[in-house]
Structure 1
Amino acid sequence: MPSVRDVTFELLRRLDLTVVVGNPGSTEETFLKNFPTDFTYVLALQESSVVGIADGLSQGLGKPVLVNVHTGAGMGNAMGCILTAYLNKTPLIITAGQQTRDMLLGEPFLTNIDETLLPKPWVKWSYEPKRPQDVPGAFMRAYAMAVQQPTGPVFLSLPLDDWEKEMDALDVSRTVSTRHAPDPARIEDFAARIRASKNPVLVYGGDLSRSRAWEAGIAFAEALQAPVWLGPFTERVPFPGNHPLFAGVLPPAVGPLGKALAGHDLVVVVGAPVFRYYPWVAGEILPAGARLVQIIDDPYEAAKSVTGDSLVADSLLALEALVPLVGSRPARGPVRQKAPTVAVPDNAPLPLTPAQIFAVLSQVAPADVIVVNESPSNMHELAATPLGVVTRPDSSYVMASGGLGWGMPAAVGLALAEAQTGRNRPVVAIIGDGSFQYSLQSIWTGVQHGAHVVFVVLRNEEYGILKAFARLEETPGVPGLDLPGLDIVSLGQGYGAATAKASTPAGIREAFSKALAAKGVSVIEIAAAKAVGDLIPR
């Protein structure tokens, strides 16, 4: 008679869940015993990096990834990146070992107490099987929950003594639908409102990327000849930044966002929340006389929208239904002026500004590069240079949560996905020197697996984004915002990466070119000017 492990691993094969990203502990070793040769184990050195790598790998592969961390202690370490995976809508099946069932009543050392509550609310489903023989079925239900819209992480707590128990050779595999088709009556209503609009505007979000709606999003915008904004903190860019209808990224504050939409009578939001705000800047949510309709794949997001009427549906299916109904409008010119090219002479004063650094990197970066951004204080500068202008689908990633420590492991996971799929696009992670400290252990995993990722670390010796908030919030004298004494190069070398330090335009070009050609993990430290600009335009 087969064991619980036998039946479970056979199910995982059928679900194509043969990559495990983890950091093993004593309560997980019974699951990993005699690890099958047709499975791959990706070791990360800390549980936050485990989840971040799995998040990037899942997004790069477009399918769920299995995660294994160590009981409650490991889950505690992992929670920051689990929160981010939830807001990124990344389908991860997160597992953690639990103590032996025979001892659970007395809560022995390493018991995961209230195990199903620990990861909430940042997982879609959390469960500990009631019997060992329920483990395979629990995996099947977890998979079904993870891949159904809105996609996201789920959690299973697995007692360490379940794996050797015998059970019938059950086949619990099944399939589920992964897209919500739109309500035809609601689509007709939205189409009528769009046709009646004199000057509509579009706001796109990450759902379009997840539903593979890049081309559909372009077709919809061109039919309406409407400007396309990205919603605030959009985690995956779903529209080309070099398209004449691209308007930019909406500011994440009520007043400035409402002003950015001035002149439009209908706001059509597709695949984005309404809206992701952060600092409080007073004003009108929408310009006077404007109305809003939203298409989102998450009923929760639809319910909490601050204004407008919502349709819960897959973005691609909704746009495919709308395009034939909305007609077409006369062509218009570009909706915004092209950003001026940043001039960077070879003898430019040092240290270079972030905008100058990105301009120099753009001179070397290949067209098919994937960019991961976790340098919060200069995202606007990056977006204004060729390196930051997205022209291809699935080539730009940030975290939807605002939690630091996701970018570096996610970049490693994305690079592993590029190698696994054979696309082999280089991954460039723009990382602040503060962000670099959160998950630098992920460098080691990238080195061990030969991932092609270049970490470009801007060293300005401060939390620049927090200094910008201090200005906005009128809070002078905040301590702990300076970061002197960090040696980025030594930290990269300690984990086995190729490293370089650069400051001049020529030095940056040389170091970046060498890293792109190396096909491995590189860390480039670049001194950057301290420049605290306005966080939110008023």
Structure 2
Amino acid sequence: MPLVREVTFDLLRRLGLTTVVGNPGSTEETFLKNFPADFTYVMALQETNVVAIADGLAQGLRTPVIVNVHTGAGIGNAMGALLSAYLNKTPLIVTAGQQTRQMLLSEPFLTNFEPQTLPRPYVKWSYEPSRPQDVPGAFMRAYAMAMQPPTGPVFLSLPLDDWDQEMAAVDVFRTIATRQAPDPDRLAAFARRIEASRNPVLVYGGDLGRSQAWDAGIALAERVQAPVWFGPFTENVPFPQDHPLYAGVLPAAVGPVSQALAGHDLIVVVGAPVFRYYPWVPGDTLPAGAELLQVTDSAYEAAKSVAGDSLVGDAGLAVAGLLDRLGQRPAPASPRPAGAREDAQALLAGAGEPLTAKQVFAVLSQCAPEDYVLVNESPSNMGELSQTRFGTITKPDSYYIMASGALGWGMPAAVGLALAEKRTGRGRPVVALIGDGSFQYAPQSIWTAVQHGAHVVFVVLRNEEYGILKAFALLEATPNVPGLDLPGLDIASLGQGYGARACRVASPAAIEAAFRQALAEPGVTVIEIPIDKTIHKLLGDG
């Protein structure tokens, strides 16, 4: 009779799940022994990196990835990245070894005492098979749970002695649906309300990107002739930012959102929560006289929305259905200009040192390739990035941030995305903008990138502080908060220590030369750039 391991790996092959990202422990070695030659193991040096690399890889490949971490301690280390994967709606099958079944009653060393509880609430499903022969079926159910909308991570706890048990050669493989069509009557009602609107506005979110509905989103905006905002903390760019109808990113606070949308009588939110708020700034939930419609693939998101009427279904299918039902609205008398982007030469005229973040982005704009992937984890500079050509995203699947706010996701996710570029043959370089504070959460990811020959450029902006927290201190009127300064960090040396090419540059010419070289040469580069310490208003002009 075949072993549990053999039946399970045969199932994983049929599902196309032949990549494992992990950091092995003693309770995982029985799963990994005699690792099949047709599978790929991506080693990371800490569990935050494991989950976030798998997150980026799964988003880049548009397929689930197997994650393998150590029992309770490993899952504990992974929870921050697991939160990000959950809010990013990334399908991951997270596995951890469990102690031998014969000893579980006495809770020996390295037991995960409550295996189904520990990863919650940041997984869609959590399970430990009741008997070894249930392991393949548990993987099949995990795949179905991860891929059915809303997609997201799931967790399996697997006792280490299960893998060598015999079982019948049962076939548990089955196909599943991964898209949910919206209710056609509700969709028709939404279309009628859009057509009856005097001045509608669209708010797009990450579900459109996951639905591969970039072109459909453009078509809807042009059919309705409505401006397009991104929801606060949108995890990927679902609409071209150089389009005349692009309006910007909504501020992440109650009052400012309402102010930004003032004058519109109908707000149509497609594929985004209503709304992600932080910090608390009071005000009206919606502008006076406005109604809201939400399209989401998550019944949970629909239920917790603070206002409006909801429609649950795949964002791409919903947009296609709306296009079938909507007529062409007339263009406005005065076309809306595309969002202003400051001229790089004007920004750099007479620039001193250190440069501002905006000036650094202006330099990068001058030598950026035609096609690249941008990952952003420099929170205090997002406003400045959006005002430059370098931060203007014009192609789908080209920009990623985490929806959670948990630092430490950006660097390993960039590595995963770079591995996906290599795997698919697209070959786009991945550029990760990282703050010097964010860099400290997951520098180990550099090693994985180096070992797997990923092409990723880490541009690290060093202002020797948690700039975003100083901005919060201004907003919250909390002076003299300790722990916000970060002196003495040597980013370039840390990068070199993990095997990357690394340099520290400050002038526009030196930054441009380093960036051009990093883009031209395969492999991993860390570019450390000092920037000025100006603190920008959190909800003000950049």
TM-score computed with the length of structure 1 as normaliser: 0.99
Look up the match of 1:334: 336
User: How far did 1:59 drift?
Assistant: 0.2
**Aligned letter for 1:55?**
D
In the other structure, the counterpart of 1:383 is: 386
Taking the aligned partners of 2:294 and 2:227, their CA distance within structure 1 comes to 16
1:335–1:325 Cα change, 3 Å: farther
Deviation at 1:25, TM superposition (A): 0.4
Check whether the contact 2:341–2:389 (CA below 8 A) recurs between aligned residues. Answer: no
Whether 1:83 and 2:86 are equivalent positions in the alignment is no
Structure 2 residue 39 is the aligned partner of structure 1 residue 36: no
Residue type matched to 1:341 in 2? D
> Equivalent residue for 1:437?
440
Deviation at 1:331, TM superposition (A): 2.1
Aligned to 1:146: 146
1:410 aligned to 2:434? Answer: no
| Cα distance in structure 2, aligned partners of 1:379 and 1:138 | 41
Partner of 2:185: 185
Return the letter of the residue paired with 2:340.
K
Residue deviations 1:19-51 (CA, integer Å, cap 9, x gap): 000000000000001000000000000010000
Alignment match, 1:49: 49
Residue of structure 1 equivalent to 2:361: 358
Check if 1:424 corresponds to 2:427. Answer: yes
Which 4+ residue blocks in structure 1 deviate beyond 4 angstroms? Answer: none
Q: Given residue 314 of structure 1, which amino acid in structure 2 is its aligned partner? A: D
1:240 alignment partner in structure 2: 240
Q: C-alpha displacement at 1:495, in angstroms?
A: 0.2
Structure 1 residues 428-461: Cα deviation after superposition (integer angstroms, max 9, x where no partner): 0000000000000000000000000000000000
Deviations 1:145-172 (A, max 9, x none): 0000000000000000000000001110
Unaligned 5+ segments in structure 1 are none
Counterparts of 2:31 and 2:341, CA distance in 1: 54
Question: Quick check: 1:344–1:360 contact (8 Å CA) kept in 2?
Answer: no
Per-residue deviation at 1:324? 2.0
- Match status 1:474 vs 2:477: yes
Q: Distance in 1 between matches of 2:275 and 2:165?
A: 49
For 1:338, the aligned partner's letter is A
Q: CA deviation at 1:335?
A: 5.0
Letter of the aligned partner of 2:34 in structure 1?
A: N
**Could you tell which deviates more after superposition, 24-33 or 327-336?**
327-336
327-336 or 58-67: which moved more? Answer: 327-336
Give 1:334 shift.
1.9
1:129 equivalent in structure 2:
129
State the shift of 1:345 in Å.
3.7
C-alpha RMSD over aligned residues? 0.9
Moved more, 343-352 or 159-168: 343-352
Aligned match of 2:462? 459
Q: Residue 244 of structure 2 contacts residue 339 of structure 2 at CA under 8 Å; is this kept in 1?
A: no
Return the offset for 1:344: 4.0
Quote the Cα distance in structure 1 between the aligned partners of 2:288 and 2:266: 11
Partner of 1:507: 510
Alpha-carbon separation, structure 1, partners of 2:250 and 2:331: 23
Identical counterparts, % of pairs: 71
Distance in 2 (CA, whole Å) between partners of 1:329 and 1:52 is: 43
CA contact (8 A) 2:340 2:387 kept: no
What one-letter code is carried by the residue in structure 2 that aligns with 1:248? Answer: G
Task: Please give the per-residue CA displacement for 1:39-81, whole angstroms capped at 9, x wherever unaligned.
Answer: 0000000010000000000000001000000000000110000
Q: Could you say which residue in structure 2 is the equivalent of 1:110?
A: 110
Whether the aligned pair in 2 keeps the contact of 1:64 and 1:93 (CA below 8 Å) is yes
1:342-353 to 2 correspondence within 5 Å?
Answer: 342=344, 343-345=346-348, 348-353=351-356
Q: CA deviation at 1:330?
A: 1.7
Would you say the 8 A contact 1:256–1:537 is kept in 2?
no
2-structure distance, mates of 1:68, 1:15: 17
CA contact (8 A) 1:429 1:456 kept: yes
Q: Which residue of 1 aligns with 2:265?
A: 265
Question: Residue 344 of structure 1 contacts residue 505 of structure 1 at CA under 8 Å; is this kept in 2?
Answer: no
Q: How many residues align?
A: 538
Which amino acid in structure 1 is aligned with residue 310 of structure 2?
S
1:130–1:537 CA distance, 2 compared to 1 (3 A):
same
Is the partner of 2:26 in helix, strand or coil? coil
The answer (yes or no) to whether the contact 2:247–2:339 under 8 Å persists in 1 is: no
